[in-house]
Structure 1
């Protein structure tokens, strides 16, 4: 069978959106039916949601029960274009578009990858709209190349194998981090000022007017890179700088493992450097004094969470050197877990780096497979 150019609407049994039950009726949100919000669309399978609703809530709102394998896309706001595949029957809010694929016409995973590959164009469409949103009508009209369903499945299986490994690593990272937090919470701790155990160092930005300072061999983390880091480490950065740029600016290269905190934008976000990196002046590098960074990261992470939960927003309105004299952190009294935290952090970093390599491979293969420039043998994929 030759490939066809078909719209999303052509290959779906239904393209719809959800709804939000009335928040005034608290009973509606005390059920067992998963209710998905667009913040939970993370370009992966989704099996569970933060909130759940009742059958009565479904019947008295625009929320709809959606089957497993439904492809989801965020239509509004900061998450526009984000995707997910439902791993179980769920409902969703009105900001999500739900695509229920006709299995006789398309493989749901193939459609997911087609949308993922087209994300930049989809986001451009949203930005060009009057409301900076997508509509179900716009999504229905998106056109893609669809080979035979068998070939679609073979392509999806190839890409899915990479995503499955990425997801496996992601879960292992989360389990390892939760285990470290549990160990940290269980031990006796002493309250100290952050500046007693961490040395704050402000970052900097090389002159953008000098191109030789940019696109060099040094990764340069912005506050956005820190805030979006997964697994507690910054592995990749949006920009790089040259060593000359570092030498001729306030930027500094700090060693692998250094803790970095954002001082602007999403204030108080934390991550550790996966390798020696520089960073901008919207961040502070925090070098450990006489303790390892893994233990102090857990202590600082817990302190930041407590401050935010308590609503002390003034602490993080403006972060400067004096802020670290004000923040108190609980440091484990004994050092016996320091090596364990360091070893577990090393395993976490190993998994995150593997995921970065797998993501590059997947993103390289994605346009080639979807365009037909690289073909997958259907028989091989089925074997």
Structure 2
């Protein structure tokens, strides 16, 4: 297959300083490593490719299907006549743009180095077909991600309504219907009473996390590998999430919740699979039906405000143990945990599908771009797979 300069297909240009209004807005603002905010203006059309220009993320590649603002930390790529923008995005993903870095101080990529790239010559029809195949997989991945986000918002909204705002109790106290099935509605009292933390539903109790769960620190893993392998297949969680892999899981009861103890503070994770929890994290387990409540209580607290570290951020197990929650009846806890588990199971199914789709996309991508895999063969494969 004949090679041609990449600027056969793309016009390149530097982004511009982001607008002064950095609050909410309609348009995504792209920096060197993707979306960094929103604004009310755009400086590039839908179908823009964004390439990190400066800093540790220079060479990263992103795509905006909508109008957007590209900052001066990035280079914008727009498709020329006879070129498909999404195909060009996938094309750049197959090139090692990081190898184009220069600069004596911080890493830098310029338009000249980008234009030096040679890429396979493809007809516009082939470009459209390849973009459609890979785009179909990415669209399904995005759909699953959005569904998971919606499910999480539903679970969190119900938690807040039932266990923070006490909406069903307030409605019953005023004689209004609460919009829940009778078997669930009957589990809520119809009166609020005073407590040491303010009004709570009658018959409910103020408890601490220590009252309902075991709070400990994680442990140093036996070894760490940056890439998952047959010998190191278990994720190692730190305060910021999965950070490595090790050969064995830490023994603790699941489900469990972890949050950062030292370094990264404020993130909270709900664990259902075997893994290792490192010693820079706090592990909360043995919570049983209280697990969802503990999870959302921790998410609702400003954990960074609990920082007691002098040289680096630190949260103590004692601070976590002393956090309050309002405990309803066991029957209502069971109802909510059943709903929460259904949502988590559906999210797990979607995540598993995302992994399969991403692996398939990453396998097809270089083969389609290089011509090693014929477009009809890829289309037939996806059709047989029901995609």
Fold match, TM over 0.5? yes
1:216 aligns with 2:231: yes
Call closer, same or farther: CA 1:117–1:295 in 2, change over 3 Å: farther
Mapping 1:93-242, distance limit 5 Å? 93-104=71-82, 106-118=83-95, 121-126=96-101, 130-189=105-164, 192-201=207-216, 202-207=218-223, 215-216=230-231, 218-223=233-238, 227=240, 238-241=244-247
- On the 8 A contact 1:18/1:97 being kept in 2, the answer is no
Q: Measure the CA separation in 2 of the matches of 1:265 and 1:32.
A: 32
- On the 8 A contact 2:51/2:76 being kept in 1, the answer is yes
Tell me which protein shows more helix as a share of its residues.
1
Q: Which has the higher contact order (CA 8 A, sep 6+)?
A: 1
- On the 8 A contact 1:295/1:341 being kept in 2, the answer is no
Q: Secondary structure of the equivalent of 1:100?
A: strand
Q: Secondary structure of the equivalent of 1:291?
A: helix
Q: 2:68 is matched with which residue: 90, 93, 99? A: 90
Q: Secondary structure of the equivalent of 1:260?
A: strand
TM-score when normalising by structure 1: 0.74
- On the 8 A contact 2:32/2:74 being kept in 1, the answer is no
Mapping 1:189-338, distance limit 5 Å? 189=164, 192-201=207-216, 202-207=218-223, 215-216=230-231, 218-223=233-238, 227=240, 238-241=244-247, 243=248, 252-254=250-252, 257-303=255-301, 306-308=302-304, 311-314=305-308, 317-326=313-322, 328-331=323-326, 333=328, 334-335=332-333, 336-338=335-337
Q: Measure the CA separation in 2 of the matches of 1:361 and 1:204.
A: 35
Q: Measure the CA separation in 1 of the matches of 2:118 and 2:315.
A: 48
Alignment length, in residue pairs?
Answer: 331
Q: Measure the CA separation in 1 of the matches of 2:84 and 2:219.
A: 48
1:360 aligns with 2:346: no
Q: Measure the CA separation in 2 of the matches of 1:263 and 1:137.
A: 46
Q: Deviations over 1:342-364 (max 9, x none)?
A: 11111112111211121112112
Q: Measure the CA separation in 1 of the matches of 2:272 and 2:370.
A: 35
- On the 8 A contact 2:237/2:276 being kept in 1, the answer is no
Q: Measure the CA separation in 2 of the matches of 1:368 and 1:181.
A: 42
Unaligned runs of 5+ in 2: 165-204
Q: Deviations over 1:134-159 (max 9, x none)?
A: 33333333332232222122222111
